[in-house]
Structure 1
Amino acid sequence: MTTNPSKAAHPNKATDPIKATDPVEVTDPSKTTDPSKTKNPVKTARFALVAAPLLTVAYGGIRALDGIDGTRGPGLAWTTGHLAFVAALILFVPALLEMRRVAGRGAFATVTAGAGIVGAALGLAQFVIDIVAGLLASGHADMQRMVGEAQEVAGVELAVYAVGPALFYVALSMLAVHLAAVRAVPVWMPVAVFLGAVVPLVSHDLLPVGGLLMLGGFVPLLRSAAPVPARAMA
């Protein structure tokens, strides 16, 4: 029996590309970047830029109500107001980091933001002392005694009640000035932030005004999309 030559496989016949087996590259889904995840830190920071000043306003308002009877603390208003500002101080941390990001993550912005975070941590310690004293005290005089005893601990009054808050507000203001210097924000922004930091020092009753000024100063940061090139303050 003879074989039909037309059915024989020709040695030079090209392989059917449809039947060819090519290696298929499989993308590891764990290595893909979810755009929503990359935006989360910025969203968190922008939330903090709004919430931190508003919580400052809330603290100032609750503090004013607490003082209607002539004394402040202990009680629900004292504790609630202080908790509001504790939350504000915590949220000022991502706010400072966002200001550093927008400034370009340079040396000056990094050091200043770090100083601000240290100041916020020391301020947080002050408010924790006040809250604990308010919860444990039997009355206003007893609360003042407890706070006084805490301040008598070596270094507490200087670091927690004096240097810490000043360091926080100075760093926040300097970082705002730096942002204007690198043209990341308009020149009025650091003015608003500085006034928001200074006004409460004139009178604690002006805390709500200071919070609103701070909120207004942060508005340009809510609109900023990309950081400027990294640079250091000359």
Structure 2
Amino acid sequence: MNARLAFPTAPVLVTAYGLIRLADGLDGERGPGPAWTAGHLAFLGAMVLFVPVLLVLRRLAGGGRLATAIAAVGLAGAGLSMAQITIDVVVGLRAADHAAMGPMFDRVGEVPGVTLAVYDAGPSLFYVGLLAAAVHLAARRAAPVWVPFAILLASLASAVNLDLLPAAGLLMLSAFAPLIRPASAAVPREAGPRHPRHARGRRPESGVSMARRPPSAGG
């Protein structure tokens, strides 16, 4: 999937996960079962697609050291989120019922550093990186000034209550909307040689190339 499709698809999958999660909890319990697995796989797909999104945001911001550092933070968070989701899927597939899931998660949490890296601080890096990338783009006038605010609201919604994930996904989708067209042009193609216009009866100077490259997306 190219980056232009990743921009709308990733937030849509976040919203899908949020809706499936809400439906899964209607009986008072979440997991195990098809809804638990399907929802988490949708969220896993979203995180996978956020990888090219973060890389394109880096290019749109000019690809400098700051943009690279921001992308690295976001990618680290996305990777840790994928680890968390994978654990959740495996537990859901192995557990016979909801009561059996608790002890399994407890055993995972007993591994030193896993709770902090995979469940607490780690995934937050994704939202920090995504928000920082949006702020950086807005500061460079490569994105509307409201885009970081939409990302901030999406991040806060996810942090306050996972039941707000459908809204968080829609906020991300709105924030990415003005970036979809620049994303398709993030890697400019080489322009072919252009023949200059010249006065009748005159010949262009030999040895001077008139071909021009299109400006990079980062400016």
State the number of aligned residues.
187
Q: CA deviation at 1:110?
A: 0.6
Q: 2:218 aligns with which of 198, 203, 228?
A: 228
Q: CA deviation at 1:198?
A: 1.3
What is the CA–CA distance in structure 2 between the aligned matches of 1:228 and 1:95, rounded to whole Å? 15
Give the 5 Å matches for 1:135-146: 135-146=93-104
Please tell me the residue identity of whatever aligns with 1:77: A
| 2:69 equivalent to 1:79 | no
Q: CA deviation at 1:216?
A: 0.3
What is the CA–CA distance in structure 1 between the aligned matches of 2:9 and 2:170, rounded to whole Å? 11
| 2:178 equivalent to 1:188 | no
1:42-95 alpha-carbon deviations (Å, 9 max, x no partner):
x71111111100000000000000000000000000000000000000000000
Please tell me the residue identity of whatever aligns with 1:141: A
Q: 1:202 aligns with which of 160, 169, 173?
A: 160
Give the 5 Å matches for 1:109-188: 109-188=67-146
| 2:26 equivalent to 1:68 | yes
Q: CA deviation at 1:223?
A: 2.5
1:22-48 alpha-carbon deviations (Å, 9 max, x no partner):
xxxxxxxxxxxxxxxxxxxxx711111
What is the CA–CA distance in structure 2 between the aligned matches of 1:228 and 1:81, rounded to whole Å? 36
Q: CA deviation at 1:201?
A: 1.4
Q: 1:57 aligns with which of 4, 15, 18?
A: 15
- Per mean C-alpha deviation after superposition, the further-off stretch among 207-216 and 196-205 is 196-205
The alignment yields a C-alpha RMSD, in angstroms, of 1.0
8 Å Cα contact 1:192/1:214 also seen in 2: yes
What is the CA–CA distance in structure 2 between the aligned matches of 1:181 and 1:147, rounded to whole Å? 42
Please tell me the residue identity of whatever aligns with 2:168: G
Q: 2:66 aligns with which of 108, 112, 125?
A: 108
8 Å Cα contact 1:197/1:214 also seen in 2: no
What is the CA–CA distance in structure 1 between the aligned matches of 2:218 and 2:50, rounded to whole Å? 21
Please tell me the residue identity of whatever aligns with 1:64: L
Q: CA deviation at 1:121?
A: 0.5
SS in 1 for 2:26: coil
Q: CA deviation at 1:182?
A: 0.6
Displaced runs of 4 or more, over 3 A: none
Q: Percent identity?
A: 55
8 Å Cα contact 1:74/1:134 also seen in 2: yes
| 2:74 equivalent to 1:90 | no
What is the CA–CA distance in structure 1 between the aligned matches of 2:106 and 2:175, rounded to whole Å? 35
> Gaps (5+ residues) in structure 2?
186-215
1:114-136 alpha-carbon deviations (Å, 9 max, x no partner):
11111100011001111000000
What is the CA–CA distance in structure 1 between the aligned matches of 2:16 and 2:102, rounded to whole Å? 23
> Gaps (5+ residues) in structure 1?
1-42, 230-234
8 Å Cα contact 2:73/2:128 also seen in 1: no
Match of 1:13 in 2: none
Please tell me the residue identity of whatever aligns with 1:227: A
Match of 1:4 in 2: none
8 Å Cα contact 1:193/1:218 also seen in 2: no
What is the CA–CA distance in structure 1 between the aligned matches of 2:53 and 2:178, rounded to whole Å? 13
What is the CA–CA distance in structure 1 between the aligned matches of 2:181 and 2:153, rounded to whole Å? 21
